[in-house]
A and B are shown apart, each in its own frame.
Chain A
């Protein structure tokens, strides 16, 4: 392995939402995270834990409340105007809600071409060619370019979003559930396409997904989030060999599998679901953790390195007995 170069560095990144009825949600709570050039970091976690918000803030689709974002060493947290326009073209996002993020009045070709024309200032004929090629590559076919988003199925819309994000040849893409609406065969095609781009163009990706099978196939490292915080970071193989955080353990045990026999040992998460506007004291997972003891209810664990390249936020990390020396 080459010595990894950081592409994106998040430092104490924070996003607060002032919600209805005095409900202030700290969606992203002081996240420190480094994403290295050419890697795919898989981001998983409970629904509502802040994955999309973290992804959006990283490319400044949502403005962070605090902290810093560095891109190739330069602070881009408050960059504006023409400087930011250039950077914007390099940092792209595939949105989780394909329909909500596609302008219903424009044709698919216009939607996909937009970041090329606006941020990259690509001449129209060349943009046209790039768009046609991308529509073919994502399996929609170039003819789809003349139609409008509402005429497409959920999975087809999702591919429009992927084509749009890839159009300006970005260096970094936040892909928020990019294949969740695709049947497994088209999903395999799109994942293989992304894998090719990663290899050929050195694309770096933050890949958000609930599908652990997909994450296992595309990600080099895995980050797990819970209530606005990163609670585990591990290499792909380490994570799938056995998560070190009790939440990760429950997550992996709940993956529905294609087997004739109904599921064996699933760790059911019981206990109170924490309200993101009022996170529990101590370890935020203690209300549902099957290993919790008194210390967990009062003292918040820090994200701690427990093995090479592996960090966990738990007082009692679950580690293999014969761990690396």
Chain B
């Protein structure tokens, strides 16, 4: 994986004005995405994954939203780019598959037309050509009877069918970067496997760089090259698939890995969960954002935010935790994180 860097995110922040003040949804993220790689973005619900991905192409600009930092794509900064310029990038160079298909699709337009419209927005093709390509795309994402389905309205489709329509729209113009926000949550595992094969094919044949936002760590294990874990608006651990999943360094990541309900092994009566609630308000503690829930927190954790840097583990492995190597090993043992 040594492709050229396609997208370089530096110090990205996204804040939302809420009654209590400004909510730091994304609180300073640095991330680079290389050609032909699949980067999995995982993390707590509400940690800023969707806010981050939408801000890359200016989709959450608006009153009450404040976006800072830089998103560099082919020498341009998309954070400061004008709306016109962004419209040229969106859906063509960088496509986003949204998490909420019911909110993102137009309820009054047939789905085939919605896919075709995305094609025609960026290409000089006839209406007929776009329509045929739209049907083809619907077939590729595993929708049965695509010609018929193209004539349906969003509410006439099941949740998973709508999700695949979103993926078809995302793929419509062979984007260089595909950001897929929970693209397979509404799909059964056999269709999910088909969609994942489609994504890995794009990656290997077209060199598409993919940011895959997902809660399914099994999916991450199957397709990701690298993994970034978010907590409260920041990346708290990042590394290769093997580093993060099989040698986790941050207690939040360890907690996630121990909470996965499995289809094999003994069935447990109670799933291990990380106690306490995630941060939802505007206030952030001074030190490590995970300290209020971390079973291993001590005074040093509350003093200041640990920087994201390499501490232990593999060469590409970085994290934000002050624990030393021995404490980390004990933590993995205490949480019964599955041995690799």
Q: Which residues of A contact B (CB under 8 A)?
A: 17, 19-21, 23, 44-48, 52, 96-100, 139-141, 143-144, 146-147, 151-156, 177, 180-189, 191-192, 195, 210-214, 216-217, 236-237, 240, 250-252, 254-260, 262-263, 266, 268-269, 272-278
Contact = CB atoms under 8 A, between A and B. Distances in A.
Nearest to A50: B158
Given A46-B188, A146-B19, A210-B189, A256 B273 contact: no
B46 A156 contact: yes
Interface in B207-226: 215-219, 221-222
- Which residue, B45, B99, B164, B263, has most C-beta atoms of chain A within 10 A? B45
B263 A47 contact: no
A105 B92 CA distance: 33
24 contacts: A47-B186, A48-B160, A48-B161, A153-B50, A154-B45, A154-B50, A154-B100, A154-B182, A180-B215, A181-B45, A183-B256, A185-B256, A187-B271, A188-B259, A188-B271, A188-B273, A188-B274, A212-B263, A254-B192, A256-B193, A258-B217, A260-B242, A260-B340, A266-B193
A181 B99 contact: yes
The dominant DSSP class at the A interface is: loop
B158 A52 contact: yes
Interface string B126-148: 00000000000000001111001
B102 A100 contact: yes
Interface string B243-259: 00110000000011101
B187 A210 contact: yes
B158 A184 contact: no
Contact of B151 (A20, A152, A212): A20
B273 A192 contact: yes
Nearest to A193: B273
Contacts of B100: 97-100, 154
Chain B's interface size range is 35 or more
A147 B280 CA distance: 12
Given A251-B190, A256-B216, A185 B18 contact: no
B240 to A, nearest CB: 12
B218 A258 contact: yes
Contacts of A258: 217-218, 221, 245, 257, 260, 262, 338
B145 A184 contact: no
Nearest to A273: B144
- Which residue, A23, A258, A273, A276, has most C-beta atoms of chain B within 10 A? A258
Contacts of B193: 254, 256, 266, 268
Given A180-B185, A255-B263, 20 more contacts: A23-B148, A47-B158, A47-B163, A47-B187, A52-B159, A143-B280, A144-B280, A186-B44, A187-B271, A192-B271, A211-B261, A213-B263, A236-B267, A254-B192, A256-B196, A256-B216, A258-B218, A273-B143, A275-B145, A276-B144
B1 interface: no
A237 B267 CA distance: 9
B334 interface: no
Nearest to A186: B45
Given A183-B45, A184-B215, A213-B262, A256 B189 contact: yes
A143 B261 contact: no
Contacts of A44: 188
Nearest to A141: B280
Contacts of B262: 213, 216, 257-258
Nearest to A259: B221
A187 B270 contact: no
B2 interface: no
Given A19-B152, A154-B50, A187 B218 contact: no
- Which residue, A46, A184, A214, A257, has most C-beta atoms of chain B within 10 A? A184
A139 B277 contact: yes
- Which residue, A187, A240, A251, has most C-beta atoms of chain B within 10 A? A187
B190 A250 contact: yes
B156 interface: yes
Contacts of A195: 270
Nearest to A208: B159
B189 A19 contact: no
A254 B280 contact: no
A186 B217 CA distance: 14
A104 to B, nearest CB: 9
Given A191-B271, A216-B263, A277 B218 contact: no
Given A186-B278, A210-B187, A217 B45 contact: no
Contacts of B159: 47, 52, 96-97, 177
A236 B164 CA distance: 30
A217 B46 contact: no
Nearest to B230: A183
A191 B268 CA distance: 12
B290 to A, nearest CB: 11
Contact of A183 (B43, B187, B338): B43
A184 B151 contact: no
A30 B262 CA distance: 33
Nearest to A179: B215
Contacts of B257: 258
- Which residue, B42, B99, B144, B272, has most C-beta atoms of chain A within 10 A? B144
Given A140-B280, A154-B50, A186-B45, A180 B186 contact: yes
